[in-house]
Copies of this chain bind each other. A is one copy, B any other.
Amino acid sequence: MSGNTFGHAFRVTTFGESHGVAIGCVVDGCPPAIPIDLAAIQTALSRRRPGQSKLVTPRQEADAVECLSGLDLESGRSLGTPIALVVRNADQRSTSYADWHHIYRPSHADWTYDAKYGLRAWQGGGRASARETTARVAAGALAEQVLQARFPGLQVVAWVERVHQLDASAAIEAATVSRDMVDAHPTRVPDAAMAQRIEEAILAAKAKGESLGGVVRLQIRGVPPGLGDPVFDKLDAQLAAAMMSLPAVKGVEIGSGFEAVEMTGSEHNDPFRWEDGNLVTTSNRSGGIQGGISNGMPIDLRVAFKPTATVLKPQSSANDEGENVPLQAKGRHDPCVLPRAVPIVEAMASLVLVDAFLRQRGQVGDPWPGLKANGD
C-alpha cells in the first residue's frame, strides 16, 4: 500500500534512506532449496556501485551486502523463508547537503516529499535518492538466480544505447550483446567507437557541471512463452511500471514502441511460423509480448532517462518559507547515470520475470502448456 513492496509471489520490500544507517530489502516468497550465491549478489552490487569509474559519482561505498536470514546455515540454500539483505551506508557526508535543508532543488523530489509527508530526509534525498536502488539490485540478483535455476538459458542483458545526442543503436546488434561486451567499457556501450565518443561527451558534461540523459536498451532472451497475467498485470505493464519506478525515467517502449505509430497494421504485424517445433515470429515488433503474455521471442525494451537533476550551475528555485531563491549546488555530482542504470534495469526485469514465473506456476502448474509445446 505504501509502495515499498514489489511483486506478488516473489515480494521485495526495500527500506533505507540515502544518508541513514543502511539500505536493504526483504525478499519473501523465494522458492526453497535453491543454492544462493551471495558473491554473485555482491558482483551485481559492484556493477551499480558509485565510484566505480570517473564517469559516475565519486561517493565511496563498498556496498558490502550482509544476509541476515533465509539461508540454510550449512548448505547456503534458500529456506523458503524471507531473505533479508542489508548494505550499510558509509560515505554519507550529510554536511555537504546542509545548505539545502530548506531549499527545494529543481526537478528533485524535495518539494513533493514535503507536500506529501510534511517532512523529509533532506540529507541526500532520502528514499528518492538513486541509492535506494542498491536494494533493488541485490534483490534482482537473487531473482536472477531463482530464474536460472529453472530456465538456464534465460539471459537478461541491458546496455547503454544512447547518451544525449549520441545514438549507438545502429552500431549494436541487439541479438548478440552479452554482459561481458557491455562491461568492457565503463560507459556500458557495447560498441567500442561509440563508447569512446560517449565517454568524451560525459566527461565534457562533467567538466561543465552538467548532466546527460540517455536510453537503456534491454533484451531478455530465452523467455518461456506464457508468462504475464492478462488485463492489468500484463507482462509489459509490469515491466513498464518497474522501469518507470526508477529515478529519472521519463519513457518506456516495448518492441516497436512509438515507432509503431508510423506503420500500418499489415506492416506492423509479426507473422507466425513453426520452426523445429517451436512457434516463432519472423519479426519482433511485439517485443516478445502479445496480449500481455510472453510469446517466447526476446523481450525488447527501451527506457529513457532524463539528465539527472543535480547540476553544478546556478539555478532559480524556492525555499520552504515561500521565497524564491537562487541555488548553486556543490559537492558530488553524477554527470550521467546511464552506466550505473544498466544493472538496475536488469534487476527490475528479473524481479518482474521471477514474479511472473511463480504466479504462472501457482495458477497453471509447471510445466505449463507453452513449455510443452516448445519442447522445453
Contacts and interface: CB of A to CB of B under 8 A. Distances in A.
Report, nearest first, the 5 A-B pairs whose CB atoms are least far apart: A109-B291, A362-B362, A115-B370, A3-B229, A3-B233
Contacts of A249: 236
Given A3-B229, A264-B210, A69 B16 contact: yes
Interface in A122-151: 123, 126-128, 132
A298 interface: no
Nearest to A261: B213
Nearest to A150: B365
Nearest to A366: B365
A359 B280 CA distance: 32
Given A5-B11, A215-B258, A261-B164, A234 B244 contact: yes
Given A82-B14, A271-B315, A262 B165 contact: yes
Interface string A302-346: 001111111101011110001110000000000000000000000
Contacts of A152: none
Contact of A290 (B5, B112, B117): B112
A190 to B, nearest CB: 18
A24 B84 CA distance: 9
Given A3-B229, A26-B26, A266 B315 contact: yes
A33 B118 contact: yes
A296 B111 CA distance: 10
Nearest to A253: B251
Contacts of A17: 69-70, 79, 81
24 contacts: A4-B229, A5-B11, A15-B28, A20-B68, A24-B84, A32-B117, A32-B119, A33-B118, A72-B121, A73-B121, A81-B127, A111-B295, A112-B293, A114-B370, A116-B368, A162-B261, A215-B258, A240-B241, A253-B304, A258-B304, A264-B307, A264-B311, A274-B322, A285-B306
A9 B205 CA distance: 44
Contact of A313 (B115, B240, B266, B369): B266
Interface string A73-84: 101010111111
Copies of this chain, count: 4
Given A109-B293, A270-B106, A117 B307 contact: no
Interface residues of A, number: 166
Nearest to A303: B258
Contact of A260 (B108, B237, B304, B368): B304
A67 B21 contact: yes
A230 interface: yes
Contact of A257 (B84, B231, B285, B304): B304
A174 interface: no
A360 B116 contact: yes
A1 interface: yes
A147 to B, nearest CB: 14
Given A81-B127, A370-B114, A245 B261 contact: no
Contacts of A251: 251-254, 257-258, 260
A238 interface: yes
